[in-house]
């Protein structure tokens, strides 16, 4: 059962298209598994539709329709080539979210005792700081604060921090005001995470020995 959902203002920003691409990807991963948030998003997008419908229309150039008509039979643009995705040998039964299907996925890199990291690169937004993390069971992390908004979607296993327990399907939104001390569940944890700002490692990786 999903206990942690995106905040209402995050879903609104997703509906409006104003979330950074990396955070939008993590929210999309959540939506795939959460019917409640999909319904919420549908209502917010309908609000976008209602606002669009009520906008004072702006006249187009006289030839606009003729120009578009002339292009209707053009072939649509070719889809981008499939991205390179490393084989992450995921636990049995775990599939990566569909939101990652156009992302490049790097192999696991060892970055500390019990912690591995795979860079997720969005070809359409390569500056975004997105990653998969695999943390072994029982690892603790140093008490710390964030530099910016950090979204974490649990794909497998779970972790616990001051704000509660996060299991598969749960999303955590942490901002600079939150000081974390999360611990991975005994079976470990695989997460998709997006961080604001430059390339930094998120809290899950700043581990002390178990």
Partner 1 sequence: MPPVTALDYPAPDASALAALIGRVAASRDRTAYATLFKHFAPRVKAYLRRAGMGGAEAEELAQEVMLSLWRKAESFDPARAGAATWVFAIARNARIDHARRRREVSFPDNAPEEEGHAPSAESLTLSAEREARLRGALGALTPEQQQIVQLSFFSETPHAAIASALNLPLGTVKSRIRLGLSKLRALLEDAP
The residues binding Zn ion (CB under 5 A) are 5, 34, 37
104 binds partner 1 (CB under 8 A): no
How many residues make contact with partner 1 (CB under 8 A)?
A: 54
Q: Which of 157, 110, 149, 114 is nearest to 130 (CA)?
A: 149
197 binds partner 1 (CB under 8 A): no
Which x/- pattern over 15-34 shows residues binding partner 1 (rule: CB under 8 A)?
A: xxxx--x------x--xx--
Q: Which stretch binds partner 1 (CB under 8 A): 35-43, 129-137, 154-162, 190-198?
A: 35-43
* Interface with partner 1 (CB under 8 A), residue from 5, 6, 13, 205: 13
Distance in angstroms (rounded) separating the CA atoms of residues 80 and 123 = 10
Interacting partner of 60 out of Zn ion, partner 1, none (Cβ under 5 to 8 A depending on kind):
partner 1
Assign residue 188 a region: left if phi > 0, alpha if psi is -120 to 50, beta otherwise?
left
Instruction: Write out the two tokens for 173.
Output: 């939104």
54 binds partner 1 (CB under 8 A): yes
Q: Which is nearer to partner 1, 64 or 142 (CB)?
A: 64
Residues 6+ apart with CB under 8 A from 53: none
Distance in angstroms (rounded) separating the CA atoms of residues 10 and 24 = 9
Interacting partner of 86 out of Zn ion, partner 1, none (Cβ under 5 to 8 A depending on kind):
none
Q: Is 98 exposed, middle or buried (0-12, 13-18, 19+ CB in 10 A)?
A: exposed
Instruction: Write out the two tokens for 129.
Output: 């700081």
Are 108 and 134 in contact by the 8 Å Cβ rule? The answer is: yes
What is the C-alpha radius of gyration for the chain, rounded to an integer number of angstroms? 20
Interacting partner of 37 out of Zn ion, partner 1, none (Cβ under 5 to 8 A depending on kind):
Zn ion
Interaction residues for partner 1, span 115-144 (CB under 8 A): 123-126
Are 144 and 179 in contact by the 8 Å Cβ rule? The answer is: yes
Question: Measured from the CB of residue 67, what is the shortest distance to Zn ion in angstroms?
Answer: 42
178 binds partner 1 (CB under 8 A): no
Instruction: Write out the two tokens for 130.
Output: 């997105």
60 binds partner 1 (CB under 8 A): yes
- Give residues in contact with partner 1 (CB under 8 A): 7-9, 12-13, 15-18, 21, 28, 31-32, 38, 42-43, 45-69, 71-72, 76, 79-80, 98-99, 101-102, 123-126
């Amino acid at each position: 059962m999903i206990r942690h959902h995106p905040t209402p203002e995050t879903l609104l920003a997703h509906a409006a298209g104003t979330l950074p691409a990396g955070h939008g990807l993590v929210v999309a991963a959540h939506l795939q598994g959460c019917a409640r948030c999909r319904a919420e998003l549908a209502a917010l997008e309908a609000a976008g539709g209602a606002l669009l419908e009520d906008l004072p229309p702006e006249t187009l150039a006289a030839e606009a329709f003729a120009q578009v008509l002339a292009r209707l039979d053009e072939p649509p643009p070719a889809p981008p080539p499939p991205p390179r995705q490393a084989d992450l040998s995921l636990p049995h039964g775990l599939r990566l979210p569909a939101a990652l299907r156009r992302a490049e996925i790097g192999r696991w890199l060892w970055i500390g005792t019990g912690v591995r990291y795979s860079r997720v690169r969005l070809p359409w937004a390569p500056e975004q700081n997105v990653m998969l993390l695999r943390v072994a069971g029982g690892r603790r992390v140093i008490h710390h604060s964030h530099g910016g908004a950090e979204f974490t979607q649990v794909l497998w296993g779970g972790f616990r921090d001051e704000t509660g327990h996060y299991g598969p399907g749960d999303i955590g939104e942490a901002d600079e005001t939150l000081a974390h001390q999360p611990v991975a569940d005994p079976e470990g944890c695989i997460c998709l995470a997006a961080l604001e700002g430059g390339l930094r490692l998120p809290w899950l990786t700043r581990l002390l020995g178990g």
